[in-house]
Amino acid sequence: MIDTAQEYPVVTLRPREERRLRYGHTWVFSNEIASIAPQADPGAQVVVRASHGMPLGTGIYNPHSLIAVRVTSRGTEPLDREWFATRLRRALRLRETLYPGQRTYRLLHSEADGVPGVIVDRFEGVFTVQIAALGMEMRREMLYDALMEIEGVAGIVERNDHALRALEGLPSRVGIVRGTADPQIVTDGLLRYNVDPLGGQKTGFYLDQRENRLAMRRYMRDARVLDLFSNNGGFALHARHAGARDVIAVDSSAAAIAEIHTNSSLNNLSGIETRTADVFAELAALRSQHERFDVAIADPPPFARSKKNVAAARKKYVELFSGTLSVLAPGGTVFWATCSHHITRETFMEMIRESLARARRDGVILEERGAAPDHPVHPSMPETAYLHGAILSVE
């Protein structure tokens, strides 16, 4: 229960808009608000009340965002350094349980870890941070101070160059904010990778597919494998390490392809054929050459970066997924994934059905997959379950 004596500006909701928050959701949208106290400055900590006066929690306020309030607590804890330290300790305990003895994982997964709008990935001694909430941006120094207290940390890098910051009116910014941030050699438990915290995709490396790479190993032994949108080679490297006889990795980025060769050397692996090419053009070429693969992976970047792009993105996903089927041998296995926040599980399943129908192939889903468990899902916030994947056997 909130202590009403606490002097925070009050945000009052419209009638019947409190139900979602009462069941655990942590976002208040601007069109759900009836009134805002005049002293509620951008980034301020505010109390959220239902229309009948019941307190629902405290959060951070941004009058310039569709997400006007991000709830930080059902109580009134001040957003100070200890608040950040407490949540980091809780998140760290979970990751040490998930990956004992390892120091590469997602440490904070925004709302699911109780720190809205903040993502922190750990790569051995370096933390990379993304902030997508004005209230957290204003308190980032306390976050950095709390992170530097964690054992083994050498430095912190901001990777605040993503599109979500523009929605909060925040500038793009990348650089070292604490200590040093040299390239790190990290492990997923089986293989090693070179990670540049200041370069690479997202926060430096795709940690969310960690468990999916391991899951695909069982299908790869003695197989001919095609890894599309291979990035720095996670699936391709695991394929070769698991005993695949042939592996082709395709990506349009020459830098990503170079990383595959670096990571192959790190793991004493050879035999991965790399192709720097547009994936759709390469699929067409492989199809015209009547190439066939036992296993195909299609893990593209997000095609839908907003709700208005979903229809066009869906067509592109179906084109990609059905294209992989055109080069898949009968009885083969595919892994398809989408990391587009605006593609729901239901839409993903529709895309699977449409892709099979378009390719005139029959298939069954062996496993539904999501992000690794260090990317937890808030049960009241489907938005935190952004990655949808499936392993299929196809005739």
- Three-state DSSP at 282 gives helix
375 backbone dihedrals φ, ψ, rounded to 5°: -115, 65
Exposed/middle/buried for residue 194 (C-beta within 10 Å: 0-12, 13-18, 19+) = middle
147 close to 85: Cβ distance less than 8 angstroms: no
Contacts of 219 (CB under 8 A, 6+ apart): 294, 295, 333, 391
Exposed/middle/buried for residue 90 (C-beta within 10 Å: 0-12, 13-18, 19+) = exposed
- Encoded amino acid at 36, one letter: I
Instruction: Exactly one of 118, 143, 157, 339 is catalytic; name it.
Output: 339
Asked if 339 is an active-site residue, the reply is yes
364 close to 392: Cβ distance less than 8 angstroms: yes
CA angle, 183 as apex, 267 and 273 as ends, to 5°?
Answer: 40
18 close to 32: Cβ distance less than 8 angstroms: no
User: Read out DSSP for 61-120?
Assistant: E-TTSSEEEEEEESS----SHHHHHHHHHHHHHHHHHHSTT--EEEEEEGGGGT-TTEEE
Largest distance between two CA atoms of the chain: 74
Tokens linked to 114:
């109780």
Catalytic residues: 339
